[in-house]
Amino acid sequence: MQVGGNAYQVPAGRRDGNVSSAQEAGANLPPPTASVSRLNQVFGAKGLSQSDMVALSGAHTVGAARCSSFDARLYSYGPSGAGQDPSMDPAYLAALTQQCPQAQGSDPAVPMDPVTPTTFDTNYYANLVAKRGLLASDQALLADPTTAAQVVGYTNSPATFQTDFVAAMLKMGAIEVLTGTAGTIRTNCRVAS
């Protein structure tokens, strides 16, 4: 897939780890149901601020999520365990229930930004303002008063989003960098050696 958008320079030369653990990755990733305070804990534990977290979430302007990542909002929301998420635009909710019918064997993926799915823009944030965020953790960024202004701000200033996103990506790329003889330098990046 070709993705339109933003080009920026990254520092070269991170050493690769020798082990990749799904369990370890799962323990460090927030669930798609996470609240802002949970997201802050997970990002904060890696030295990333709330503002970094809101900017990095803008990556969800490209790519797709499987129905199982958000269908609790369509079919099993709230205390009854059978409601629909009232913070979602009803037309969007109806469209998603078409794309993610209940009781099916497969688990299809839907675009996270249906407006411009392959362009790295601020439509992700515009979708949140229109109550069209796909994951509960996305929509939470508008619902929470401590993050809402940043979300709305990015819709008015795409250049600020791009600058903040790049800064936060560089910060994220510097998390727990392996140094000295830890890890390896791969000749084939797909093979641990």
Residues that bind ligand HEM (CB under 6 A): 30, 32, 34, 39, 53, 56-57, 59-60, 62-66, 69, 135, 137
CA distance 62 to 124: 8
Report the residue number, 60 or 73, with the smaller CB distance to ligand HEM.
60
CA distance 18 to 21: 10
Give the nearest residue (CB) to ligand HEM: 63
CA distance 193 to 97: 45
Report the residue number, 126 or 168, with the smaller CB distance to ligand HEM.
168
Report the residue number, 7 or 180, with the smaller CB distance to ligand HEM.
7
What's the min distance (Å) between Cβ of 35 and ligand HEM? Answer: 10
CA distance 186 to 193: 7
What's the min distance (Å) between Cβ of 31 and ligand HEM? Answer: 6
3-state SS class at 123: helix
3-state SS class at 109: strand
